[in-house]
């Protein structure tokens, strides 16, 4: 489908973000006959697109690749009339369209007017903030096992983290690496039971418990990591050629930092209808305050946000049922 061109009247809904939350919002908004535009970042991708296998999304008992799932959602949304624009959004500010309050979006030098906005900008991987991390990104430090795992065939790598993503990616890396050491600051994992069982049963996976990374070492590329035991303070180095970081997410919400209420970590506060504190701005998925960041919850959030946006637009147009 060709990219959207700004019409001579505003969009009913502009969705910023092209992951599962944004695409589900697009399906529901377009299906409700709202003129809907989804602005997906030109230089960013949804976290789920780099996930090798999703096996807990209902209806796919054999599992599905993250990229394939997003493409299915995209195809379905476009069939209902969703328009798309691949540009990075640089600003969002209040405006008016005639008698109606509206929002003005700048994306890739284009100005888009919309009566409502659904923020579905997701989150980015948190950094460790240790020496060597920034220096070796792309030269041994990675945030995507699916992308970079094949480069570490028959080598030793480290995975930092103890949640679902960390353990899932560690298991994926065993298809290539000879040894995968999971570094976790606690003495037990927080990943779901089935993933823990698989990790503990995999002979290629070792664990560095109660440990944090103090420094990533190397010359041209990563050669080792220095770990510190959080209980004893003892430090040690372990050799590795790759360090994969999965230590949490930071919501991508700078776009609304002066528009909508946020938590200290940046997550946008929403009510049960996905309304933010800014009238006409709704939010869904990983960029919001949520107890669970999963594809299924992001999609549910997106559906609710689209329904709330529909009711809001119909109300300001005077067409509410």
What is the rounded end-to-end Cα distance, in angstroms, of the chain?
32
Q: Report the run of H or E that residue 307 belongs to, with start and end.
A: helix 295-317
Q: Which of 303, 254, 252 is nearest to 282 (CA)?
A: 303
Q: Which of 144, 284, 287, 299 is catalytic?
A: 144
Please indicate whether residue 299 is annotated as part of the active site. Answer: no
Q: Which of 8, 12, 68, 148 is catalytic?
A: 148
| Neighbour count for residue 274 (Cβ, 10 Å) | 28
d(CA 230, CA 214): 11
Structure tokens at 232: 């004893």
SS3 159: strand
> Tokens 């329904």 correspond to what residue?
307
d(CA 225, CA 213): 7
Q: Which of 68, 88, 147, 261 is catalytic?
A: 147
d(CA 157, CA 145): 10
Structure tokens at 274: 């996905």
Please indicate whether residue 287 is annotated as part of the active site. Answer: no
Just list the catalytic residues: 144, 147-148
């Amino acid at each position: 489908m060709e990219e959207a061109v700004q019409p001579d009247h505003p969009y009913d809904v502009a969705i910023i973000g092209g992951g599962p939350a944004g695409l589900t919002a697009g399906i529901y908004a377009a299906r409700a006959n709202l003129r809907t535009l989804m602005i997906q970042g030109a230089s960013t991708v949804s976290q789920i697109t780099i996930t090798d296998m999703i096996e807990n999304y209902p209806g796919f008992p054999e599992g599905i690749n993250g990229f394939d799932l997003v493409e299915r959602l995209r195809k379905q949304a476009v069939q209902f009339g969703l328009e798309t624009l691949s540009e990075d959004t640089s600003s969002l500010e209040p405006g008016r369209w005639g008698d109606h309050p509206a929002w003005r979006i700048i994306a890739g030098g284009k100005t888009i007017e919309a009566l409502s906005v659904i923020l579905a900008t997701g989150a980015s991987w948190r950094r460790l903030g240790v020496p060597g991390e920034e220096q070796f990104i792309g030269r041994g430090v990675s945030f995507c096992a699916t992308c970079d795992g094949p480069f570490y065939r028959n080598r030793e790598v480290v995975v930092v983290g103890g949640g679902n993503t960390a353990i899932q990616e560690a298991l994926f890396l065993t298809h290539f690496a000879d040894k995968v050491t999971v570094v976790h600051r606690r003495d037990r994992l927080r990943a779901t039971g089935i993933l823990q069982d698989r990790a503990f049963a995999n002979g290629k996976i070792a664990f560095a418990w109660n440990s944090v990374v103090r420094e990533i070492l190397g010359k041209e590329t990563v050669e080792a990591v220095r770990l510190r035991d959080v209980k004893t303070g003892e430090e040690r180095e372990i050799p590795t050629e790759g360090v994969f970081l999965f230590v949490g997410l930071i919501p991508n919400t700078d776009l609304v930092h002066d528009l909508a209420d946020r938590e200290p970590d940046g997550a946008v506060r929403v009510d049960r209808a996905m309304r933010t504190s800014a009238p006409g701005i709704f939010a869904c998925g990983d960029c919001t305050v949520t107890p669970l960041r999963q594809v299924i919850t992001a999609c549910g959030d997106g559906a609710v946000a689209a329904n709330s946006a529909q009711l809001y637009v119909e109300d300001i147009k005077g067409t509410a049922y």
